[in-house]
A and B are shown apart, each in its own frame.
Chain A
Amino acid sequence: MFSVKRLSLILVVIMLAATMFTACSQSSNTNSNEINVGLNYELSGAGATYGQDTVDGIMMAIDEINAAGGVLGKKINPIKQDNKTDPAEATSITTKLATKENVVAILGPATSGATKASIPVAVKNKVPLITGSATADDITVDAKGVKEYGYRICFNDSFQGTVMANFALKNMNAKSAVVLMDSSSDYGKGLAKNFRETFTKAGGTIVEDEAFIKGDKDFSAVLTKIKDKNFDILLISGYYNEAGLIIKQAKDMGINKPILGGDGFDSPDLAKLAGNSALSNVFFSTHYSLLDKDATVVKFMDEFKKKYNKDSNAFNALGYDLGYFIADAIKRANSEDPTKIKEAIDATEGFKGVTGKFSIDENHNPVKTAVVIELKDGAQVSALKIEP
């Protein structure tokens, strides 16, 4: 019998050849008038909106930079690849960008999982990788130390805990808090942990520490328990799905204390779940607000709306900053050598973006301002910048 083995061998050879040819045909000729920057983004799959939004912001920044003459006298050439919101795919794209496309740096991915998978490849190939929105705490630094070529320009999950604790202490004069955290996500746990630490260190007390898990719908037992307790604020450390329901049930029950949270609240679904009338006296930290009156931010918002015909969100703004951030690093490195660019990124001091002014710390995280947004009747009524 013409063996299956031989048949599969032939098939493998054909497939190998095919991949080699496609790889060759796709690798761009290095044009000496252009600087290649890789974009490794979620253009399809579950994280498609995050990836697409970030890329919109990056492309807007790169277009502006190129229109103004580029960097080091050369145009920036973005090489855009779709990682399908798949960590494995993101890894192979990182390899391809670093080894075949001769990029000086890689921007992305947008989601924490894909970023976590991509960074080891970037480290191995010594190409800086900068993410605009992966907020998990262990993206840039884990138990084994700082990841040499991995950076981000958004604050991490636990930083928001610190910001909200400071906001509660200083802006609201809160002395006691109830913490309600999503114990099924790293996000919820990280945020709650840092809130607790900062809040108690400054003399505040945590009256009650409660937890819920993703998908819970009934919070009446916990809320009844805290209802008659004496506390100043309620921190909900979780995503909008549960936070919306907690806020609704709390207000229905007559708990009118201020409710605080992180960027997990930043979704139009929060108002749908809680109802507009319940969404008052609610504060959350996020990266960016449409209420910002800062001149550069207003300019960005207008230009963005003109270009894409929609309101900009946090991902657009972070992408836009990412574009200028890498251009700034290349300029300061005065070189197209990825290692020199990495050193320039390390030395970033007071970079001014639309999501705030920041420097890069020794853990490759930005030290930046957060925006605390107040909701009243479901609408954003004020945005306050909180220094780290």
Chain B
Amino acid sequence: MEQFVQQLINGLSLGSIYALIALGYTMVYGIVKLINFAHGDIFMVGAYVGFVSITYFNMGFFPALLIAMLFCAVLGVVIEKVAYKPLRNASRITALITAIGVSLLLEYVVMFFAKAGVRTYPENVLPNLEMTILGVRITFTQVCIFAVTIALVILLQFIVHKTRVGKAMRAVSMDKDAAQLMGINVNNTISVTFAIGSALAGAAGILVGVYYNSIDPLMGIIPGLKAFVAAVFGGIGIIPGAMIGGFSIGAVETMVSGYGSSLYKDAVAFAILILVLIVKPSGLLGKNTREKV
């Protein structure tokens, strides 16, 4: 039982990361129907920005987190304006291929400047505290990751449901043309969506850097794919779905390693993707009354 709870906690911290990345996937898909494959690489850029802020500018964790989120938000908007906007009326496959191109571009530009090898965050970015409750070990870093994720998700829900920008986002995701007729600035709304989604990925990047202490230019590929699985699992385009999907994939992966064989953990994650697509293509929360952002 102790071990089960411990594994659950391991799964939750891993799942938080997937959830943060999955949110960006889902938001972008919801609003422009584009699977933004470069999203995993924005997560990687966030990790590098955090690395530079902490290592070279001696910033604390929270200032570095803000900088990474800000940088990624700007990067996301630039990518949208340069690479995706001109293709908004082209076929979806064109935009998808462009997204793969942007993904490779980000990976290899970072590799060019930062070299291919791994970089390590300094030790003790966050205090090295831990507590043991009934034999279950929880570290301060894990608590931070979980707390940051939950705080960002609540903030996101607030933005989407309680603000004018959020209302505009929901309107654009339902019907772009109608929204435009109602006087909503579609371009700005899409930019804001990209900015928020990318900022969340940037946050995930720095959290991974601090938690695992190892970053490299290709680190975004697998988490990006798994977050995509998480988004599809929860129902792509649905914000709470992405979060549930992220936590589920994290927990499943941990449980497979913990109780089955670690050899199959990635296979299981992708098997889930295939099963979901066959059984319930709209995802866990995908119903007729779908609310998209």
Contacts and interface: CB of A to CB of B under 8 A. Distances in A.
A and B bind: yes
Interface stretch (A73-81, A124-132, A267-275, A317-325): A267-275
B118 A273 contact: yes
Interface string B195-212: 000000000000010001
A352 interface: no
B7 A224 contact: yes
Nearest to A253: B137
B213 A248 contact: yes
B139 interface: yes
A215 B212 contact: no
B214 A218 contact: no
A19 interface: no
B257 A225 contact: yes
Nearest to B266: A213
A273 B120 contact: yes
B219 interface: yes
Contacts of B222: 215
B258 A225 contact: yes
B124 to A, nearest CB: 9
A253 B263 CA distance: 22
Contacts of A211: 261-263
A150 interface: no
A63 B236 CA distance: 67
Contacts of B212: 217-218, 245
A212 interface: yes
B66 to A, nearest CB: 24
Contacts of A377: none
Contact of B218 (A210, A215, A272): A215
A221 interface: yes
Given A228-B3, A272-B120, A245 B10 contact: no
A252 B259 CA distance: 21
A244 interface: yes
A218 B258 contact: no
Nearest to A240: B118
Contacts of B253: 221
Contacts of B262: 210-212, 221-222
Interface string A267-294: 0010011010000000000000000000
A382 to B, nearest CB: 25
Interface in B105-131: 117-118, 120, 123, 130
A220 B255 CA distance: 11
Interface in A217-276: 217-218, 220-222, 224-225, 228, 241, 244-245, 248, 252-254, 269, 272-273, 275
B214 A273 contact: yes
Nearest to B259: A225
A183 interface: yes
Given A221-B262, A224-B10, A252 B139 contact: yes
A212 B14 CA distance: 16
Contacts of A225: 3, 7, 257-259
A241 B123 contact: no
Given A213-B266, A221-B7, A245 B258 contact: no
B254 interface: yes
B137 A221 contact: no
Interface string B5-21: 01100110110000000
B257 A222 contact: yes
B213 A273 contact: yes
B121 to A, nearest CB: 10
B80 to A, nearest CB: 28
A47 to B, nearest CB: 13
Nearest to A218: B14
Nearest to B120: A272
A224 B213 contact: no
Contacts of B254: 220-221
Contacts of A254: 137
Contacts of A244: 214
Contacts of A217: 208, 212, 214, 219
Contact of B6 (A183, A212, A224, A252): A224
Contacts of B255: 221
A275 B218 CA distance: 22
Contacts of A253: 137
B261 A210 contact: yes
Contacts of A248: 213
Contacts of A245: 212-214
B117 A269 contact: yes
Which of A212, A217, A241 has most B Cβ within 10 Å? A217
Nearest to A271: B120
A225 B255 CA distance: 10
A221 B257 contact: yes
A241 B215 CA distance: 10
Contacts of B218: 215
A245 B13 CA distance: 16
A272 B11 CA distance: 26
B141 to A, nearest CB: 9
A183 B266 CA distance: 13
Contact of B118 (A218, A221, A241): A241
A245 B216 CA distance: 13
B6 to A, nearest CB: 5
Which of A210, A212, A225, A269 has most B Cβ within 10 Å? A225
Contacts of A213: 266
A210 B256 CA distance: 12
A272 B208 CA distance: 16
Contacts of B213: 245, 248, 273, 275
Contacts of B13: 220
15 contacts: A183-B263, A210-B262, A211-B263, A217-B214, A220-B10, A221-B255, A221-B258, A224-B3, A225-B259, A228-B3, A245-B214, A269-B117, A269-B118, A273-B213, A275-B123
Interface of A: 183, 210-213, 215, 217-218, 220-222, 224-225, 228, 241, 244-245, 248, 252-254, 269, 272-273, 275
Given A215-B221, A218-B14, A248-B213, 5 more contacts: A210-B263, A215-B216, A217-B208, A217-B212, A218-B212
5 nearest CB pairs, A to B? A221-B257, A220-B10, A221-B254, A217-B212, A211-B263
